[in-house]
Amino acid sequence: MLLEVSNLSKEYIRSNRPFFAVRDVHLKMKAGDFAIIIGRSGSGKTTLLNLIGGLISPTGGHVSIDGCDIMSLKDRELSSFRNSYIGYIPQGHSILSNLSVFDNVRLPHYLQKRQGDVNKRALSLLEQVGIAHLANAYPQHLSGGELRRVTIARALMNKPKLLLADEPTNDLDAQTTYEVMQLFSDIANEGTAVLLVTHDLSTIHYGKHVYQMDNGKLKSHNT
Amino acid sequence: MMAYALTSNRISFLNLRKKSFRTFALILVVAILSFALFGGTVLSFSFRNGLRSVEARLGADLIVVPLGHGKQQESILLTGEPSYFYFNKEIVQKLQEVEGISKLSTQFYLISLSTGCCSLPVQIVGFDPATDFSIQPWIQETLGGNLENGAVIVGSDIMIEDNKHIKFFDKEYPVAAKLDKTGTGLDQSVFATMETLKDLYSGAKEKGFNFLEDTDPDTFISSVLIKVREGYNIDQVITNIRRKTDGVQIVRTQNLITGISKSLGNIITFFNVFALVLLGVTLVILTVVFSASANERKKEFAIMRILGATRKKLAAVLIWESLYISVSGGAIGTILAAIFVFPFNVFIGDSIGLPYIQPSLLWIIAILLGTLLVAFSLGPIASAYSAVKVSRSQTYLTLRDGE
């Protein structure tokens, strides 16, 4: 199993009262799986993704990726693990504005010690997401759809085993949403597990597994 | 496609390049500080050296001159402004009777012309080798012996075309040596024994110097240099001189030094306060700008963390940015200060009216290294707080804050 989430909880104190953003979540994914989690705003989807990505610490439970309990890792090890195993597409525009498209895609390669032909890989990814002609452009000159493709290419740079995407079609038109979701399907078909959270119900038919998040609890969604 | 490795310093460089105006402004701030630090320190060292040189070269405790010519005597010593004044040699006999005087020696002043008869217009100082205690030790230091009659010795600022002869009143005089720089008016003077001076005087008289009427060096002198006997109070000796003489003015050399020292002290105090304020202001500006910049770039740092950057990596990016600014500003400021200070050192010394001797190369290198050390460390010190803050922040929270 590539991803194993068990009894995962995240509790916050809100207005002096405990509040569970994520409560006892269990989730398993194999390589090449494409899972979509739907839910209303504030249901805990992003928090769950951040817990799986090791960006925040859980109150309880475990996250294991490719057999590694990420909670046991120290910050430095976790950074290295995230860099190697997880591709993360944050919500909104998350491109570094001072770097070109090409450099944005290459960036994950240089954040940890790594070998390989980074330039060839970056160009090939840009071709894969259909924006190779924009390699030298800067983010401020790109459309929303193009920016999203850059973040996808960047997330795939280090050949991650798990791709996490937070509302990747949030601000895209129908045609671009279709193209982006098609890209995720292709990525999953190539063997990378894709976990996507969204409140856009029009995208759920792309997922092999669909879950619903409600008040921090995760359950299977009946399509 | 030409692509550099995206190391921490490369990312910093790209960040700075994209924010070119802010980068330029910060480099300018550090450059101004470095300019002031390096330039100011070299200047204050040069003035200090000048003061030491004046102390070492004046030799005499008192200089007796004709009444009303005290200021001119000071100008000859401090700025080298050529001047002449005379009084009867009889004064020497009176002074010899004054209690508390250990040594005394006379000098005769002449000025040359800027016309074709002379190489250049300068102060010519004639001294009596038999009694001199002020100029001869200095000449011996340079020449390794006494100055022969018929030859002259010149101050360090006197330029001689063939380095061997100097022309005064249509006659060539061999130049025995050039004295070391003192940073005083003595650098712009020519020295000769009384015998040589008499020859110069004749030449000047032949040229029709009407001011030389009845001022024969056998009868007249310009000044009497006095060394006070050990154990005697200078003020008491001055009172003794006044009791015995009329129509004279007494220049107290210590007052000259005190005057210079006071002016120098004021300049150095002003410079130190200015440098400290500038250092503080620069540090505050850099800290505020780096802090504001780190704050507005929370999202950028959160994204890097999400992509797998360690906390150390984020801090390194910020530190590299500040280092680029510090190094560029420090280097530019120091180079500009060097361009300003070194070629114009004579002009600066003259403008401020204080003796000026540049420090040795070793001292200049030490000042340079000190300035660069301060400038280079400013950026990292100013960005340290932001770097720690950025590296400690929670990724997810900063990502949300940054949106």
R_g of chain A, CA atoms, integer Å: 17
Chain A hits for B306, CB-CB cut-off 8 Å, are: 53, 55, 82, 88, 90, 94
**Arithmetic mean of pLDDT over chain A:** 91
Candidates B6, B307, B310, B391: best to mutate against A (most CBs of A within 10 A) is B307
B401 versus B196: the higher-pLDDT residue is B196
**Any idea how long chain B is?**
403
**Arithmetic mean of pLDDT over chain B:** 86
Inspect the interface and report whether the beta carbons of A107 and B304 lie closer than 8 Å: yes
B161 versus A164: the higher-pLDDT residue is A164
Inspect the interface and report whether the beta carbons of A56 and B395 lie closer than 8 Å: yes
Q: What is the mean pLDDT of residues B95-111?
A: 92
Could you tell me the pLDDT band of residue B402, with boundaries at 50, 70 and 90? very low
**Torsion-angle region of A67 (φ positive above 0: left; ψ -120 to 50: alpha; else: beta):** left
- Asked if the C-beta of A12 comes within 8 angstroms of chain B's C-beta atoms, the answer is no
Chain A hits for B302, CB-CB cut-off 8 Å, are: 90
Contact predicate B321/B16, CB 8 Å: yes
pLDDT, position B403: 45
Q: Which CATH fold topology does A1-218 show? A: Rossmann fold (3.40.50)
Whether the pLDDT of residue B120 is over 80: the answer is: no
Q: How many other C-beta atoms can be found within 10 angstroms of the C-beta atom of residue B381? A: 15
Inspect the interface and report whether the beta carbons of A102 and B1 lie closer than 8 Å: yes
The pTM assigned to this predicted structure is 0.73
Could you tell me the pLDDT band of residue A140, with boundaries at 50, 70 and 90? very high
**CA pair distance B188, B124, nearest whole angstrom:** 9
pLDDT, position B106: 94
Could you tell me the pLDDT band of residue A50, with boundaries at 50, 70 and 90? very high
Interface of A with B in 24-63 (CB under 8 A): 50, 53, 55-56
Residue type at B23 in one-letter notation: T
Q: Which residue of B has its CA nearest to A155?
A: B307
Please state, for a pLDDT cut of 70, what percent of chain B lies above it: 93
Q: How far is B354 from chain A (nearest CA, A)?
A: 52
As given in the structure block, the two tokens for residue B230 are 């050990």
Contact predicate B135/B191, CB 8 Å: yes
Measured in degrees and rounded to the nearest 5, phi and psi for residue B263 equal: -60, -45
B77 versus B210: the higher-pLDDT residue is B77
pLDDT 10s digits, B216-245: 888 999 999 999 999 999 999 999 999 999
Q: Which of B206, B182, B191, B197 is nearest to B86 (CA)?
A: B197
Return the H-helix or E-strand segment holding A9: strand A3-14
Contact predicate A167/A199, CB 8 Å: yes
Q: Which residue of A has its CA nearest to B20?
A: A98
Interface of A with B in 159-218 (CB under 8 A): none
The strand pair at B101-111 and A86-89 is best described as unpaired
Candidates A45, A102, A110, A134: best to mutate against B (most CBs of B within 10 A) is A110
- Asked if the C-beta of B22 comes within 8 angstroms of chain A's C-beta atoms, the answer is no
As given in the structure block, the two tokens for residue A1 are 């199993």
A132: helix, strand or coil: helix
**CA pair distance B307, A155, nearest whole angstrom:** 8
Q: How many other C-beta atoms can be found within 10 angstroms of the C-beta atom of residue B284? A: 11
Inspect the interface and report whether the beta carbons of A154 and B307 lie closer than 8 Å: yes
pLDDT 10s digits, B6-26: 999 999 999 999 889 999 999
pLDDT 10s digits, B168-207: 888 889 998 888 777 778 888 999 999 999 998 888 888 7
Inspect the interface and report whether the beta carbons of B6 and A107 lie closer than 8 Å: yes
Interface of B with A in 299-358 (CB under 8 A): 299-300, 302-313
ipTM of the complex: 0.90
Inspect the interface and report whether the beta carbons of B6 and A109 lie closer than 8 Å: yes
The residue extents of the domains of chain A are 1-218
Q: How far is A135 from chain B (nearest CA, A)?
A: 10
Size of interface A-B (CB pairs under 8 A): 85
Inspect the interface and report whether the beta carbons of B7 and A110 lie closer than 8 Å: yes
- What is each CA distance from A175 to A101, A119, A197, B28, B272, in whole angstroms? 22, 30, 19, 50, 68
Chain A hits for B314, CB-CB cut-off 8 Å, are: none
Inspect the interface and report whether the beta carbons of B313 and A80 lie closer than 8 Å: no
Inspect the interface and report whether the beta carbons of A96 and B303 lie closer than 8 Å: yes
Considering only A20-29, B77-86, B117-126, B279-288, which range has the smallest mean pLDDT? B117-126
- Asked if the C-beta of A135 comes within 8 angstroms of chain B's C-beta atoms, the answer is yes
